[in-house]
Amino acid sequence: MRNKDLSIIIVDDLQFSRIVVKTALKKAGYDGVRMADSATQALNLLNEQPADVVLADWMMPEMDGLELTDRIRQRDEEAGTYTAIILFTANEGVDLLVTAFEHGVDDYLRKPPNPHELAARVNAAARIAVMQNDLLETSRQMEDTIRHLEEVAMIDPLTGAGNKRFLMSQLKANLLEASSRNGGVCLAILEINQLRQIRDQDGIDIANEILIGMQRRLRRSIRPTDTLTRLDGDLFAVLMTYTNFDNYKSASVERLREGINQRPFKTSVDDKKISASIGVKYYRGDEEIISPNEITRQAMNKLDDAIDMGNDSIAF
């Protein structure tokens, strides 16, 4: 970073001291220099525009350099930034300097500072600030990437519905909720009966059109609070929750079948008559709690029964 690109704040209650430091920095090529006559004003300047380096006198009325350092470090933590801090001090003794470093001070200079040493220390502190801010930005980008990957890992890329991982997560939370509050959880698993034949005859693209259309049709057939997911291959799952286990009605599942059967599915080649077999497992909150894997296994067993029954069947 070039000197003229650095943002620097000088904090000193003595105007003469501020001017001496600013003049020395200007001669060294530092143009972005602002001055504050108190720690409070310095914090206000930081709120207006962040700084790479803050040069502050240790001894100031109202709020000294160490207190200002604490405030800046708190601000940096909240904002996800880093500000290099150099204190001017006339104090002697190792113990005082150790205290300063423990508060998060990056460097110190004796008063009055030597102009050449001042410029060199500011340059070194600026490099620290730039490096720390680069690391923080990289960390933020990595966190954003991780969040994005976690979101992607919960979504079926073809249909935009949730995937099996998302279903298991929702089941775990909803089963616990139903068990503790006497609610109910209904899991319906659907298999598209004709999809394997369509994939063999018309190709995977047409089969994918059916899957996308099925997601849209099911979404319109369920409540906004219900969860729709696509499982492996030709399977979809609908998770319905009830605040009272007696509120569950089988008609809610039958509506899924009606929504699928209401009209043929349009594809790029022709209209397809589609049906689905549905297996249903309902958990009552007054029963012994079961695991997400167990309720899924039982719903899959019911799906096998529905397929054996044929004729667009539902097995409860």
pLDDT at residue 89, as a whole number: 86
Instruction: Indicate the average pLDDT of the chain.
Output: 90
Amino acid at 90: A
pLDDT at residue 146, as a whole number: 64
Under CATH, what is the fold of the domain 3-149? Rossmann fold (3.40.50)
Find which of 16-25, 120-129, 160-169, 288-297 is predicted with most confidence, using mean pLDDT: 288-297
Q: Considering only 106-115, 133-142, 182-191, which range has the smallest mean pLDDT?
A: 133-142
Per domain, the residue ranges of the chain are 3-149, 164-315
Pairwise CA distance, residues 226 & 215, whole Å = 13
Give residue-wise pLDDT tens across range 115-157: 899 999 999 998 989 888 888 888 788 777 766 666 668 889 8
For 80, half-sphere exposure in the C-beta direction (CA atoms, 13 angstrom radius) is 9
Question: Which residues sit opposite 239 in a β-bridge?
Answer: 187, 227
| DSSP string for 60-77 | -SSS-HHHHHHHHHHHHH
pLDDT at residue 2, as a whole number: 56
Q: Which two tokens stand for residue 140?
A: 């933020």
Q: Are 299 and 279 in contact (CB under 8 A)?
A: yes
CATH of domain 164-315: 3.30.70.270
Q: Phi and psi for 28 in degrees, rounded to 5?
A: -85, 0
Q: Determine the average pLDDT of the residues in 268-297.
A: 95
Q: Are 161 and 217 in contact (CB under 8 A)?
A: no
pLDDT at residue 4, as a whole number: 62
Pairwise CA distance, residues 195 & 31, whole Å = 70
